[in-house]
Structure 1
Amino acid sequence: MINHLRTLVEATGPSGSEEDVVQLVVNAVRPHADTLDVDAFGNVVVVRRAAHDDARRCIISAHMDEVGFRVYKIGADGFLRLEKLGGFDDRILLAQRVWIRTDSGERLLGIIGSKSAHLLGDNDRSSIVPYAHLYVDIGARSREEVISMGVAIGDPVGFVGSLTELGHQTGRYTAHALDDRAGCAVLLTLLERYEDTPPPVTLILVFSVQEEIGLRGVQALARHLQSDVALALDMTAADDTPEFSSPHLQLGAGPTIKIMDSSTQAHPAIRRGLLAAAEKRGVPVQREVLKGIGTDAGALQYLGQGVPTGAVSVVNRYTHSPVEVLDSRDLVGAVSLLEGFLQDLGNLELGFTSLDEKPSA
């Protein structure tokens, strides 16, 4: 799983420009898929069939795109201006290394410039530079030189980085784009578990695009995919660092089971099924209530006439930054949780409530 993640985070794939990630995913899933499709949006849809045609169907979606930018303007002075893709904290953007990916597929190194410390005034030290005022230095002296390098308006821009372990044998790793390449690595590992034996239900794995700019990839799929159950697999924000006095979600305490976020109220049957699968197998989990986040589950819940939907997340520090951090134990726990849920899904009661029971007073 870590090897999958290491490979995936090396690619530059902001929303709408996920081509390199798509190719990596397709190469990884092809040996294990019964069917494989890349749709017009760029979503990769992989089906691994159960042994029986009447088995239930479960969709699990993880997104391939990362937050990033596009080249908005090429100045006469050779500096690039950027437009955002996804949500950023502008405070973290100064002095970051970025890749600019040209139409030829070549990546050029650039730096988001900042004033030298010796030239800062009092106002500079106490203010945040809005992203619209930022510029990227690729070493060019003029617009013509930029164009000669193959850079064009609209080219995708993403953070530079590679997967690196923090400290020594901590099992905690940092990289950009862990959100949600880590979810993709979990799905690849889950699929490999069924290399020799069919899954207990028909498994539809979606590696989606454009999640960071409004769940757009999965919205397109929701119009025609059919399933009995849908899950999103994504990252969620840890609040276990010194800034917070009472953490809700902690690194290394297990994957989270979504209760609610801004896009989804998890279906009670899915919550119950995930919690039961975790308890049965001794997988530590955390309950997630986080209003300031959304996942592909927000679109998947509208499959057909509506489908029981939930989400599993991996806790992530410093989200939407070049230095996101996760704990590999949470990745392992996510695989175990999903595998257990799929094993139990055939017998899981999927009704919103039982009509045989009297409502509580």
Structure 2
Amino acid sequence: MNKIKLLEELSNLHGAPGHEIDVVEFIKNSMNDFNCKRDSINNLYIKRNDMIDGPIVALDCHSDEVGFIVENINSNGTISFLPLGGWHITNIPAHSVVIKNFKGEYIKGVVASKPPHFMTAEEKQKLPKLDELVIDIGTSSFEETVNLYGIEVGNPITPDVTFSYDPKIEVVRGKAFDNRLGCAIVMEIMKETNNIHLNVNPIGVVSSQEEVGLRGAQVAANTIKPDFAIIFEGSPADDTFKDAFSSKGAIGKGVQLRVIDAGMVSNPRVQEFVKNIARNNNIPFQVIARSGGSTNGGKYHIADKSIPTVVIGIPTRYIHTHYTYASIKDYENAILLGRKLLEALTVDIINKF
């Protein structure tokens, strides 16, 4: 399976926070040359069969995507829902979604609001509230929604989007690049380094529930207790609303190294090490300082004895919406940088951080 096909497979899967099992099983089945184990929070750990006596390096990504969960089935058959992850109200209405019932069946619906024909002049000037939106699957009663389609409170809901690739500009479009990009990258790095000598033990960590509080990463950090952590993340691109000078997250311009966000101030010694590896291998990178947002790095760098951590982002337009764009060049450069970091890391280097 080539890199683009792998990303397509991952993007098209559905995995709202806490309901990542389809993604986890796909990755597990795709990594049959490795020792894979899932825990009760839906984290998946991917280990080489030839583990050495050396430092552990976590290659972390998260399998979940922003989504929703069924809150209630209404008398007219529509479905009330709650958000799972950081949505903004303007990105929710009038989009197609998929509900997965507990039988494993997928039911398509549309996020609906009051039509403009029935709105007052005042209502047209206001943003809708989340509790004013419903999901309509085409039914007309509670009984139809429940008895014919098996919809229940607690069913996960995700965007209904199909992946595509534009070879002219080497850009992919799809849902859940935050963070199926990271999943694909971790899988590729583990495969590419499986038969080469390393001075460290890479462990792929496909963590759960990142979008609702970095929960899987907290469990993973305490489970494998890595000596170094590399976080791969689909990060917000800023090139469509900033000029070329101020943009630090342009797609196609290189991977993104994050020096600060709401969850972590990056270790400058780690940053310089990663930058030098990138420079020595002609891997383009961008450096960004963010006042908000966070990644799984926020849990790793304060776990155990404090784990040296770097966040490698792949700039992605419009994350936390239905449709996202990313550059294949950035995707491939993230794989290359991750591999080169593993090849360079030693116990002595890690101890200096």
TM-score of Structure 1 vs Structure 2, range by shorter chain = over 0.9
1: CA distance between counterparts of 2:193 and 2:292? 35
* Residue equivalent to 1:132: 131
Query: How many pairs are equivalent?
Result: 349
Q: How far 1:200 sits from its partner (Å)?
A: 4.2
* Residue equivalent to 1:39: 39
User: Which deviates the most, 103-112 or 242-251?
Assistant: 242-251
Q: How far 1:243 sits from its partner (Å)?
A: 6.0
Give the letter aligned to residue 172 of structure 1: V
1: CA distance between counterparts of 2:243 and 2:292? 16
2: CA distance between counterparts of 1:319 and 1:44? 23
* Residue equivalent to 1:202: 201
2: CA distance between counterparts of 1:205 and 1:338? 12
Would the alpha carbon gap of residues 179 and 348 (structure 1) be closer, same or farther in structure 2, given more than 3 Å must change?
farther
1: CA distance between counterparts of 2:50 and 2:255? 26
2: CA distance between counterparts of 1:198 and 1:160? 42
Give the letter aligned to residue 235 of structure 2: T
Do 2:12 and 2:175's aligned partners in 1 also have CA atoms closer than 8 Å? no
* Residue equivalent to 2:307: 307
Correspondences of 1:66-105 after superposition (within 5 Å): 66-105=65-104
CA RMSD after TM alignment: 1.8
Would the alpha carbon gap of residues 39 and 214 (structure 1) be closer, same or farther in structure 2, given more than 3 Å must change?
same
Do 1:17 and 1:156's aligned partners in 2 also have CA atoms closer than 8 Å? yes
Q: How far 1:121 sits from its partner (Å)?
A: 4.0
User: Which deviates the most, 128-137 or 341-350?
Assistant: 341-350
State yes or no: 1:293 paired with 2:293.
Answer: yes
State yes or no: 1:176 paired with 2:175.
Answer: yes
Give the letter aligned to residue 20 of structure 2: E
Q: Secondary structure, in 3 states, of the residue corresponding to 2:22?
A: helix
Give the letter aligned to residue 317 of structure 1: R
Q: How far 1:300 sits from its partner (Å)?
A: 1.1
* Residue equivalent to 1:63: 62
Do 2:7 and 2:184's aligned partners in 1 also have CA atoms closer than 8 Å? yes
Q: Secondary structure, in 3 states, of the residue corresponding to 1:339?
A: helix
State yes or no: 1:3 paired with 2:5.
Answer: yes
Fraction of identical pairs, as percent: 26
State yes or no: 1:27 paired with 2:26.
Answer: no
The two structures have a TM-score, normalised by structure 2, of 0.94
Q: How far 1:226 sits from its partner (Å)?
A: 2.2
**What do residues 318-337 of structure 1 show as CA deviations (whole Å, max 9, x unaligned)?**
11001111111110110111
Do 1:48 and 1:199's aligned partners in 2 also have CA atoms closer than 8 Å? no
1: CA distance between counterparts of 2:253 and 2:299? 28
Give the letter aligned to residue 113 of structure 2: S
* Residue equivalent to 1:224: 223
User: Which deviates the most, 12-21 or 215-224?
Assistant: 215-224
Do 1:234 and 1:314's aligned partners in 2 also have CA atoms closer than 8 Å? yes
2: CA distance between counterparts of 1:244 and 1:137? 40
The two structures have a TM-score, normalised by structure 1, of 0.92
User: Which deviates the most, 194-203 or 184-193?
Assistant: 194-203
Q: Secondary structure, in 3 states, of the residue corresponding to 2:225?
A: coil
Would the alpha carbon gap of residues 244 and 133 (structure 1) be closer, same or farther in structure 2, given more than 3 Å must change?
farther
1: CA distance between counterparts of 2:161 and 2:338? 29
Do 1:113 and 1:134's aligned partners in 2 also have CA atoms closer than 8 Å? yes
Do 1:314 and 1:331's aligned partners in 2 also have CA atoms closer than 8 Å? yes
Q: How far 1:345 sits from its partner (Å)?
A: 0.8
Q: Secondary structure, in 3 states, of the residue corresponding to 2:223?
A: coil
Correspondences of 1:307-346 after superposition (within 5 Å): 307-346=307-346
Correspondences of 1:112-127 after superposition (within 5 Å): 112-127=111-126
Would the alpha carbon gap of residues 18 and 275 (structure 1) be closer, same or farther in structure 2, given more than 3 Å must change?
same
* Residue equivalent to 2:157: 157
**What do residues 145-188 of structure 1 show as CA deviations (whole Å, max 9, x unaligned)?**
1111111011000000121135x521111111110001101111
Do 2:193 and 2:339's aligned partners in 1 also have CA atoms closer than 8 Å? no
Would the alpha carbon gap of residues 162 and 272 (structure 1) be closer, same or farther in structure 2, given more than 3 Å must change?
same
User: Which deviates the most, 39-48 or 53-62?
Assistant: 53-62
**What do residues 99-145 of structure 1 show as CA deviations (whole Å, max 9, x unaligned)?**
00000111000000134454444334322112121100011111111
Would the alpha carbon gap of residues 140 and 199 (structure 1) be closer, same or farther in structure 2, given more than 3 Å must change?
farther
Q: Secondary structure, in 3 states, of the residue corresponding to 1:144?
A: helix
2: CA distance between counterparts of 1:208 and 1:74? 31
